[in-house]
Amino acid sequence: METRRIKALWVKGIYLNQILQGEKTIEVRVGYKNILRLQPGDLLRLNDRFLFRIKRVAHYRNFEELLAHEDPACIAPGMEMEELERVLREIYPPEKEALGVVALELVPEDA
């Protein structure tokens, strides 16, 4: 039997609701060591309750590169690209963005 890692990940309310409704399929994080270890097939327990599987992991140098390759509607449904970039920078200041940016494509574990 395959053993997969399970990592707890906390997601803010509105974004968690969008993930649970299937609208938001990509969670963005910066390159902290624990995030850089994540691989496709690993499980995420969102807010200690909801189990999701990582379908794909993509690494980018910065938010501009992320937004050039990922669909903003999958990251923040209903938000324009410029607003999304501003919000990401509010969450992650320049020293955090400098760690690199990670896009985690998520699917429900039972999917």
User: Could you report the per-residue pLDDT of 17-56, keeping only the tens digit for each?
Assistant: 999 999 999 999 999 999 999 999 999 999 999 999 999 9
Going from N- to C-terminal start, the domains of the chain cover 6-108
Third-level CATH fold of 6-108:
2.30.130
- Has this prediction a pTM greater than 0.75? yes
Residue 49 contacts by C-beta under 8 Å, 6 or more apart in sequence? Answer: none
- Dihedral sign for Cα 51, 75, 18, 8, please: positive
| pLDDT-above-90 percentage for the chain | 94
CA 84, CA 73: separation in Å to the nearest integer?
10
